[in-house]
Structure 1
Amino acid sequence: MEIVVSRAAPVRLQAPDAFDRFSVAVGSGGAPGLQKALDGIARIDGGTHAWVFPQAVRRLAGRKSDEAWNARFDAMLAFAADRGWLASDGAIRAHIDVREE
């Protein structure tokens, strides 16, 4: 599962069924305005990680009424909590991967 930030398109969730990985993918040209692009989706932590709001992931996935998907996402959140990858406000820690556009 990746949150993709690009100059060419709106922020989107790619591979929403890949619950075994989680990152923010940023095009090389998108890095300077990253926090603005992720407004309401995540907050940047030191440039190498982001804290992503679970409600934003659910919104980007477009699976509000998909009980199976939501159960798997909740399991992913529980796994992240066990590893210390959840903030006190519930945000999920994600690596920021900068890629060539």
Structure 2
Amino acid sequence: MRLVVDGAGQVVATQTAVFTSLDVLTTNRAGLAEAFAAIGTVEDDHVWVDIAWLRKACASPCEEWQAGFDAMIDFATRKGWTRENRLVRAHVVSG
């Protein structure tokens, strides 16, 4: 799963059926805090993204998609990549 920060500073979900990774692609790291102000928190080379927002931005009505998303979040939780059961960590990639 990939979140792309576009030229206007909007966050767009792509690769929404890929549950083996979660990253943020940006060409403007300085603009990350503003882009994620309402949906997450920027911390070093990571963004902590609101899980409810992520589910809504990427969701498919398909039960298979829902199960894949839940498994991704469960895996992240076991690895310590979630906070307060509402945020999940995404790695920032410059592109």
Q: TM-score range by the shorter chain?
A: 0.7 to 0.9
Residue-pair matches, total: 95
Structure 2 length normalisation: TM-score? 0.88
> Partner of 1:55 in structure 2?
52
The question of 1:66 aligning with 2:53 is answered no
Structure 1 stretches of 4+ with a deviation exceeding 6 A read none
Sequence identity percentage: 31
For residues 26 and 57 of structure 2, what CA distance do their matches in structure 1 show? Answer: 16
For residues 72 and 41 of structure 2, what CA distance do their matches in structure 1 show? Answer: 20
Structure 1 length normalisation: TM-score? 0.83
Distance 1:92 1:26, change over 3 A: same
* Uncovered stretches (5+) of structure 1, i.e. residues with no partner: none
Q: CA RMSD in A?
A: 1.6
2:29 to 12, 15, 31: 31
For residues 69 and 81 of structure 2, what CA distance do their matches in structure 1 show? Answer: 14
* Uncovered stretches (5+) of structure 2, i.e. residues with no partner: none
The question of 1:95 aligning with 2:91 is answered yes
For residues 44 and 85 of structure 1, what CA distance do their matches in structure 2 show? Answer: 14
> Partner of 1:20 in structure 2?
20
> Partner of 1:44 in structure 2?
42
